[in-house]
């Protein structure tokens, strides 16, 4: 009897005042999914995956399969040069800040102080005074367990200071030590011979100094659920290969595209090209981390975003169809022109004629009419990477529920969908499959990302993005 009374007292004492002893759930806040910037909700549904004309000899996979797809968000357009440049610039700046922080940390002969120009680039954690009142409980805990101090070998201990701008102009360099880090060499107070970040003007084609793009590397790893372990860190060069405009077209004058396509403002809203499947994966990983980092900095206990990723092959085809079950193209019909004879996508309509559709290379990402889900250029403009491995007979064995043939070390072929500005109409069909090695970079392959929808959506018939 005494035991019963004691347990009862504990139970009653632990009841929350707000729930009045009722079953109200662990949280009182209702989660509302907000579409990420530039993304469209693709509602859940089923469709017949495969060619509308299964007898077509050119189709890589003539097998038809009814599959069901969970709702997800998808980029309205291909990832543009401007959007990808944001990624490249962030990676570039983080590497420069990291080396400036290391230079500050390893200065000879003196303790760095607030009067030193490199002070502001010190990692945030190491700028705290020794007074425990200025440290969080967790910081003190890490120090007591030997894990709270800067580890040069472990870059995860760096908390880079993004509040101060980097001075790129030589006339604005903060001091000789700062110059040594950016230009290469040894500064008066530094013990390391730095590689530098610039190619001298006399070694570049246009006579202007240029950033060493091969130094712009993004390191990340992913968790393998089946193996229950993290992968090894991958360090990926993220700068697009602008030489694809030469490599893909022998004996062709494409110097202006090589020189200007990625960086010139005239092409800011054009789809990024020269990006491998691996680089697209790195971009998606960064996009997730970048958003979550911002969210956590704004408020405590914030909800983290579902990760951004490349679409599966099935997701891509489902989205491209726009809810039209047996459509050959995203716009539905079997023709590539409208009733006025205007082309409905950017592709090569005739042999050797790239300009029949009025566009020679790529077009702006929001060109032509979107499909009924509100997605632009699901056919033509640039082909798009998916997250799926290519196997000719994959439709015969993948699941009917969110089907996907996941990546493996033994298969380096990735499914590419949608056709491009240099392809004939067959490759624009929503069911046509193509593939490319995951490390290849092409002037006609780009990508867009997706994000899984948390919960269930309202169904495509009531989808607010449905525009017809």
Q: Report all structural domains of the chain as residue ranges with CATH numbers, in order of start.
A: 54-80+274-462 (3.90.1580.10), 88-219 (no CATH)
- Judge whether 298 and 357 are in contact, CB under 8 Å: no
* pLDDT at site 8: 46
Determine what percent of the chain is predicted with pLDDT higher than 90: 49
| DSSP state for residue 80 in the 8-state scheme | B
Residues 293-313: tens digit of each pLDDT: 888 777 766 677 789 999 999
Q: How far apart are CA 421 and CA 419, in angstroms?
A: 7
Q: On the CB side of 101, how many CA atoms lie within 13 Å of its CA? A: 24
pLDDT surpassing 90 at residue 70: yes
Give the strand pairing for 434-437 and 413-417.
antiparallel
Residues 104-152: tens digit of each pLDDT: 877 754 566 777 888 788 766 555 445 556 677 777 777 777 666 656 5
Of 99-108, 423-432, 443-452, 455-464, the range with the lowest mean pLDDT is 455-464
Of 34-48, 153-167, 335-349, 410-424, the range with the lowest mean pLDDT is 153-167
Three-state secondary structure call for residue 198: strand
As a whole number, mean pLDDT of residues 155-178 equals 84
As a whole number, mean pLDDT of residues 165-179 equals 92
* pLDDT at site 57: 47
pTM: 0.87
Of 32-41, 160-169, 291-300, the range with the lowest mean pLDDT is 291-300
pLDDT surpassing 70 at residue 462: no
Q: How far apart are CA 407 and CA 435, in angstroms?
A: 13
Write down the mean pLDDT value for the chain: 84
| DSSP state for residue 40 in the 8-state scheme | E
Greatest mean pLDDT among 8-22, 24-38, 239-253: 239-253
Residues 356-377: tens digit of each pLDDT: 878 999 999 999 999 999 999 9
* pLDDT at site 434: 95
* pLDDT at site 73: 96
Give the strand pairing for 434-437 and 450-452.
unpaired
């Amino acid at each position: 009897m005494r035991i019963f009374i004691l347990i009862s007292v504990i139970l009653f004492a632990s009841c929350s005042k707000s729930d009045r002893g009722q079953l109200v759930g662990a949280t009182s806040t209702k989660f509302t999914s907000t579409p990420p910037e530039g993304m469209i909700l693709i509602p859940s549904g089923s469709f017949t995956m495969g060619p509308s004309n299964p007898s077509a000899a050119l189709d890589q996979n003539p097998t038809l399969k009814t599959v069901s797809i969970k709702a997800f968000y998808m980029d309205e357009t291909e990832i543009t040069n401007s959007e990808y440049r944001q990624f490249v610039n962030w990676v570039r700046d983080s590497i420069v800040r990291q080396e400036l922080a290391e230079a500050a940390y390893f200065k000879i002969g003196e303790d760095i102080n607030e009067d030193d120009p490199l002070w502001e680039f010190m990692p945030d954690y190491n700028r705290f005074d020794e007074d425990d009142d200025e440290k969080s409980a967790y910081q003190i805990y890490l120090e007591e367990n030997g894990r709270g101090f800067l580890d040069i070998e472990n870059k995860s201990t760096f908390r880079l200071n993004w509040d101060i701008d980097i001075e790129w102009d030589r006339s604005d360099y903060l001091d000789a030590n700062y110059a040594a880090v950016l230009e290469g060499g040894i500064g008066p107070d530094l013990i390391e011979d730095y590689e530098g970040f610039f190619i001298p003007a006399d070694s570049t084609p246009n006579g202007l100094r240029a950033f060493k793009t091969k130094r712009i590397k993004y390191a990340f790893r992913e968790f393998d659920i089946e193996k229950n372990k993290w992968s090894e860190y991958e360090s990926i060069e993220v700068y697009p290969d602008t030489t694809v405009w030469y490599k893909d077209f022998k004996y062709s004058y494409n110097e202006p595209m090589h020189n200007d396509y990625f960086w010139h403002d005239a092409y800011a809203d054009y789809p990024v090209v020269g990006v491998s499947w691996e680089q697209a994966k790195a971009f998606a990983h960064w996009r997730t981390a970048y958003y979550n980092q911002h969210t956590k900095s704004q408020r405590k206990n914030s909800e983290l975003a579902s990760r951004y990723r490349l679409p599966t092959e099935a997701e891509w085809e489902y989205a491209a169809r726009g809810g039209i079950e047996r459509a050959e193209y995203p716009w539905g019909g079997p023709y590539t022109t409208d009733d006025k004879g205007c082309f409905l996508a950017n592709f090569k309509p005739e042999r050797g004629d790239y300009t029949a559709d009025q566009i020679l290379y790529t077009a702006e990402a929001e060109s032509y009419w979107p499909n009924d889900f509100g997605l632009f250029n699901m056919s033509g403009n640039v082909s798009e990477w998916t997250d799926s491995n290519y196997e000719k007979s994959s439709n015969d064995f993948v699941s009917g529920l969110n089907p996907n043939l996941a990546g493996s070390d033994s298969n380096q072929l990735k499914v590419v969908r949608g056709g491009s500005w240099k392809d004939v109409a067959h490759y624009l069909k929503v069911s046509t499959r193509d593939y490319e090695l995951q490390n290849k970079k092409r002037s006609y392959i780009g990508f867009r990302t997706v994000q899984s929808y948390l919960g269930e959506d309202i169904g495509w018939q009531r989808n607010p993005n449905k525009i017809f």
